[in-house]
Structure 1
Amino acid sequence: MIRVLLADDEAMIRAGVRAILGAAEGIEVVAEAGDGREAIELTLAHRPDVCLLDIRMPRLDGLRAAVELSRVAPDTAVAMLTTFSEDEYIASALGSGAAGFLLKSGNPRELIAGVQAVAEGGAYLSPSIARRVISHLGAAQLGRQTTARARVEELTAREREVLSLVGAGLSNAEIARRLHVVEGTVKAYVSQVLARLGFKNRVQAAILAYEAGLVGAEAE
C-alpha cells in the first residue's frame, strides 16, 4: 500500500485529489495539510511513502517544504502539484529534491501514475509539464538540444540506456527488469549518471533525456 500525505491550501483541491487517489488500488491518503509547515509536521508523524505538495501555500511554500523534507524525511518521496501558470516555480523546484511534477488539472491517470512512480523511486513529469519545461525552461536549465546531446554523448552506452529509462519515468525496479540486472546495479548506474551530469535528482536527468531525444523507443 502506498501511503500518501496531501498538502494544499485549497480544500476543494484536496478533496478532488483524495477522491482520485482513494479510488486507485494500492494507494491510501493518510493525512492532509493546509500549508507547508503542517506538511512537514505530518510527514514526520505519519512517515508516508509520498508527499504531494502544492507549490504555493501559506506559512511555508511547497518548494521550501520539499527542501526541508529531503533533509528530515529522506525516505519520503516528494511530488509537486502545479498549474500551467507556474513555469517559473517549476524551474526553481528542479533543485528542491522533488521527484515528480503533476498537473492539478491533468488526467487523473497521470496523478495515479505519478504517485506510483515516485513511490517506487522513479521520476515523473506529467507529459504536458515536460513539454512546457523543455520548451520554456530548457535553454536556461539544461542548454539547447545540441548541448544536451553533447552531454549525453559523454556517457557510456549503458548509462545512456539507463538515462533514457529514467526519462521514461521507470523506477529502479522496473529498469532492472527491463535490463535483466539486479536493482542494486541500477541504483549504482543512476547514481553514476547523476554524478557525471552534475544533477541533484532524477527529474533533472529525466528532462535532459527528453531534451536529448532519448525518451522514445526505450520507453515503448
Structure 2
Amino acid sequence: MIRVLVVDDQALVRDGRAAILESEPDIEVVGAVDDGSEVLTAVREGHANVVLMDIRMPGMDGIAATRQLLEKGPAGVRVLMLTTFDLDEYLYEAMKAGASGFLLKDTPRVQLLEAVRRVAAGDATLSPTLVRRLVDDFVRRPAPGAALPASLHSLTSRETEVLRLLATGMSNAELASALFLSQATVRTHIAHIFEKLGLRDRVQAVVLAYESGLVAPGEAGA
C-alpha cells in the first residue's frame, strides 16, 4: 500500500488531491497538512512513504520541508513536488533539496496517480517540459573550459552518453531507441551510473549533469 501525505496551504486543493488519491485501491492518504513545518511529524505519525508537496506555503516552504524531511525523516520517504510555470525559479533548488519528482499543478488525474506510483516504487518523475524550462532559465554552468568532476571519469564512454541523454528527460524506452539498445541494457547502464556517482535517482543525475557542464542548455533532446 502506498501511504501518501498531502501538503498544501489551500484546503480545497488538499481535499481535491486527497479525494483523487483515496479513490485508488493501492493508495491511502494518511494525512494532510498546510505548512512545511508539520511535514516531518506528520510523516512519522502516518508512516507515509510518499509526500505530495507544494513548493510555496506560508511558514516553512516545500523546499525547506523537503530538506528537513530527507535529513531527519524515516529512510525511504520520497517527495513528489508540485509547481507552476510562474514558480519555476524554485525548481532547481527543489531538485537539489532531494525531491524525487516534479509535476505541474494542473497535471491530469491519470498522470498524477502514475507519478505517485512511480515515485513510491523508487523511480523519479521529471517532466521533459520542466527539464527544458530549467535548462533555459536556471541552470548555471561552470566557466568555459572548466574540467569535469573527477567522479565522471569513472564512467565508461557509453555510460557517459546514457547520463547525457538521461539528463535531457528521456525515458528508458527513448534512451533504448536513441542508442539502439534494449531497455534491460539501459537499466543496467543507469544502475552502474548511480552506483559509481553515488546518486539516488534520475533527479540527482540531472542536477549533476548540468552542474558539471556535461550537458549544455539548448542541446538536442533538452
TM-score (norm 1): 0.73
Note closer, same or farther for the CA distance 1:25–1:127 as it changes in structure 2 (3 Å cut).
Answer: farther
Secondary structure in 2 aligned to 1:94?
Answer: helix
Matched residue type, 1:123: A
On the 8 A contact 1:91/1:141 being kept in 2, the answer is no
Distance of 2:15 and 2:141 partners within structure 1: 34
User: How many pairs does the alignment contain?
Assistant: 200
Distance of 2:103 and 2:71 partners within structure 1: 22
Distance of 2:142 and 2:28 partners within structure 1: 36
Deviations along 1:100-138, one digit per CA (max 9) or x if unpaired, are 111111222222222122111111123432221122223
1:63 aligns to 2:67 (yes or no): no
Note closer, same or farther for the CA distance 1:91–1:186 as it changes in structure 2 (3 Å cut).
Answer: closer
1:179 corresponds to which of 184, 204, 209: 184
Tell me which residue corresponds to 2:30: 30
Gaps in structure 1 of 5+ consecutive residues: 171-176
Distance of 2:78 and 2:66 partners within structure 1: 9
Shift of 1:46: 1.6
Distance of 1:182 and 1:203 partners within structure 2: 15
Distance of 1:30 and 1:129 partners within structure 2: 29
Note closer, same or farther for the CA distance 1:135–1:29 as it changes in structure 2 (3 Å cut).
Answer: same
Tell me which residue corresponds to 1:13: 13
Structure of greater Rg: 2
Distance of 1:13 and 1:59 partners within structure 2: 18
Distance of 2:104 and 2:143 partners within structure 1: 24
On the 8 A contact 2:98/2:204 being kept in 1, the answer is no
On the 8 A contact 1:122/1:169 being kept in 2, the answer is no
Secondary structure in 2 aligned to 1:80?
Answer: strand
Tell me which residue corresponds to 1:78: 79
Distance of 2:121 and 2:183 partners within structure 1: 15
Distance of 1:200 and 1:141 partners within structure 2: 22
On the 8 A contact 1:95/1:201 being kept in 2, the answer is no
Note closer, same or farther for the CA distance 1:168–1:60 as it changes in structure 2 (3 Å cut).
Answer: same
Matched residue type, 1:29: V
Deviations along 1:124-161, one digit per CA (max 9) or x if unpaired, are 123432221122223x26899xx99xx98983255347
On the 8 A contact 1:2/1:49 being kept in 2, the answer is yes
TM-align CA RMSD: 3.6
| Sequence identity percentage | 38
Distance of 1:24 and 1:126 partners within structure 2: 23
Distance of 2:118 and 2:141 partners within structure 1: 23
Tell me which residue corresponds to 1:53: 53
Pairing of 1:108-123 with structure 2 (within 5 A): 108-123=109-124
Shift of 1:182: 9.7
Deviations along 1:16-69, one digit per CA (max 9) or x if unpaired, are 212322334522211111111111110011221111111112221111110111
Secondary structure in 1 aligned to 2:85?
Answer: coil
Distance of 1:142 and 1:78 partners within structure 2: 28
Distance of 1:80 and 1:178 partners within structure 2: 27
On the 8 A contact 1:123/1:206 being kept in 2, the answer is no
2:194 corresponds to which of 172, 190, 193: 190
